Structure 1
């Protein structure tokens, strides 16, 4: 009993000392914080966020998709309507160059087969021809396919070059990571926050993602199996550097209406530029067989005007308004001025000794 009383007394004494120490630190820290100068980056960030908030930023309501735009349509055939420059170019190559050539070749082969079947069957020609060589015919059927392939190759190579043209300096960077079985989108140019994107559950079907609501429960929801709880939001009309990787197995980030498809490989970053021409919601899916729930990791890209994009950014903790533009190298290389001559002299001496 005596030991218990002694221990209880010591505990009360230590607790009182701890409370006194905390109270002293609480009084000292605010005073120190008031005396310490704020970091320039914090000032700039605060000013940018203040300006954005003054213009009504910081609030966000997801955009409602337009039926048939940026999504598959029942009974449709052909390519989805394109909303990027590379997509429009690729669609032109497909519709104006490839399809007419393919159609002409198929019709020609069908005509030749019909002529051969009618004119050179056993009944019409009981004695078969012994011809084994025809120089003109052989030259023609060799050169014509070569010319056709060249005609297809020139615009096709140009399209490949356009698709993999590097992003301009200062382009907004978004990091896309494929996981089993969802996507994460990181925004290093906007405070380095991350968005986790899961497919919404389908009413009446088995639950795919616990804790995620059902599709159709919000007025801005798109089609089932394509809508997600958190979309990848991008600014419209700007080049966006997408850096794509995976955390586990190979995935593939693909959005048909934006003419975008790039593999997500673990341990590797693949990069490609995305430019969305018009505001809207554009859907895609993982296009690489990645496991049991491969069909349950859709992609939803929401393109917003820059002011609305900034407002969406500010809804995330620690977010910053930053277009991703870097400071010029010349400005970054200018050294900070020394406080006085006594501080500058040792630095000059150290430089001389190093030389």
Structure 2
């Protein structure tokens, strides 16, 4: 991958991440216009030979350079507020998964089913196979169906952690004694990686998240194999 590609966002795999990328591009477009205008005015003032030392105020220009930034802030604030409410929205989840952060691993519990819970540890470097990512692969993947509203209920058993999947545009703190929730809606199957984004101790860098998104038929087959009580 080229260095330029490494500095950008991951490919969006949820409607929320698509909206976040759109808002980023929208903000950058406005920022480029402002920077271009400021550079043009600076160059113009530096090269202009006309000056008047007797001018101490101009109410008209002061009014203009107060109103225009206010309008620009509205173009940034309104989409930002809309996106903020979208990130907190929860709509009819079909699946609920409880996520608990530990020092230094994650445990998952499928609350809608019986006896489907497991711990997820980072795969040691010596156990990696071809195609695995170092420090990102786990021994057990979190498995969710594609194009399904999935609610994640997140907490911690010891210190503050942070459950993060960049390609889904989600990042929520796991706080001891508190339940935080988020919604994910993966748009395509595949493996997607994240890491704890809160400094939680000596092995903070070694508690990755591996999300495996599969189709609904494969997901139901996995449920049947994981729990014989499932139909």
Normalising by structure 1, what TM-score? 0.61
Could you say what secondary structure the match of 1:153 adopts? helix
- Residue aligning to 1:171: 94
Q: Secondary structure at the match of 1:189?
A: coil
Match of 1:154 among 60, 72, 78: 78
Deviations 1:148-192 (A, max 9, x none): 111111111111111111231x52100011111111111111214
In our comparison, the structure showing a higher alpha carbon Rg is 1
Kept in 2: contact 1:313–1:319 (CA 8 A): no
When you count helix as a share of all residues, which structure comes out higher? 1
Q: Does 1:116 align with 2:53?
A: no
SS at match of 1:160: helix
The whole-number CA distance in structure 1 between the counterparts of 2:107 and 2:124 is: 18
Q: Name the SS for the 2:225 alignment partner.
A: coil
Change in CA separation of 1:312 and 1:137 when aligned onto 2, cut-off 3 Å: same
1:180-259 equivalent positions in 2, closer than 5 A: 180-203=103-126, 214-216=127-129, 221-259=131-169
RMSD (Å), alpha carbons: 1.9
Q: Deviations over 1:184-240 (max 9, x none)?
A: 11111121421211111124xxxxxxxxxx222xx5x53111111111100111100
Q: Which of 131, 135, 139 lines up with 2:63 in the alignment?
A: 139
Change in CA separation of 1:99 and 1:234 when aligned onto 2, cut-off 3 Å: same
Change beyond 3 A, Cα 1:312–1:143: same
SS at match of 1:144: helix
Q: Which residue of 2 aligns with 1:209?
A: none
How many pairs align? 229
| Structure 1 segments unaligned to the other structure (5+ residues) | 1-72, 204-213, 322-355
Summarize the alignment of residues 62-77 of structure 1 with structure 2, pairs less than 5 Å apart.
Answer: 75=3, 76-77=6-7
Q: Which of 102, 105, 112 is matched with 2:34 structurally?
A: 105
2:124 and 2:27 map into 1 onto residues whose CA distance is: 40
Structure 2 length-normalised TM: 0.92
Secondary structure in 2 aligned to 1:314? helix
